[in-house]
Amino acid sequence: MALPVPPPARVFAELLPTPAPASAPAGGGGGGGGGGGPPAPSGREVHVSGSAELSAGPDRARVSLRLGSRKGAAGAARSSVSRRLEYIAQSARQRGVTVCIIFSDFGKMQNVCNLLIEKLGTSVTISPPHFYHTPEAVDTLRRQVCVAAVGNTRRKAQEVCRLFGQSLGKPLLIREEETKEWGGHIDDHLSNSPDSLTLQERIQNATAYASCRVFAVFEIKGKENRRNKLL
């Protein structure tokens, strides 16, 4: 699937002058000095829309094995297949691999498959590996891309405020506007990858992508503190 081009980020800033304090009533006494509560919020905000895109390679691989044996009697053939099957399970256990056989370590997967082909020859047929994502891996990708989009949005808001000599305040609104996911395989028993693909090409085909666009509103606190810049 073609990679969609994310929309360009939009940055909107509204810098309004701070309202002037109300003047004292005419004829008021001169001793009060205009005491009162804290000043009202200025209502100044910076509006930022930004996006992020992340990818995650597959975290699981499935390999199917088919055993065969030709003997003069059916019992001898079954015994031969059973011995080979036990050898496969033993080889996998010795290398810390689940005997299903589902791999989370692709290097161990290659080593086990190569060993079985070397030892068992034509009596074993090993299918090309099928790579996929567990639901937990997909959920992690979704969270990471959202957090990355929010982080990008905040950094843009800081840059806008700094451009005008202002200081960024607290977030007033953060809204996830759009999320997209493409590529990758969830736990699917069917593989659409041709047998001619290399291992790295299969991993690339199973890589999952996600993008997220958020809209955020931040408070503008006031003039940026330039004390550290003058030191």
Quick check: 2 pLDDT over 60?
A: no
Nearest to 110 by CA among 200, 190, 185, 205: 200
% of the chain surpassing 90 pLDDT: 35
Segment 181-206 shows an average pLDDT of 75
pLDDT of the residue at 155: 95
* Residue 207 confidence class, pLDDT cut points 50, 70, 90: very high
Determine the Cα–Cα distance for residues 139 and 124; give it in Å rounded to an integer.
37
Q: Which amino acid is at 108?
A: K
Average pLDDT, the chain: 75
- CA angle, 47 as apex, 42 and 51 as ends, to 5°? 155
Q: What is the biggest distance separating any 2 CA atoms in the chain, rounded to whole angstroms?
A: 121
For the segment 72-124, what is each residue's pLDDT rounded down to a tens digit?
A: 666 666 677 677 777 777 776 665 564 556 788 888 888 888 887 887 777 77
Determine the Cα–Cα distance for residues 15 and 42; give it in Å rounded to an integer.
10
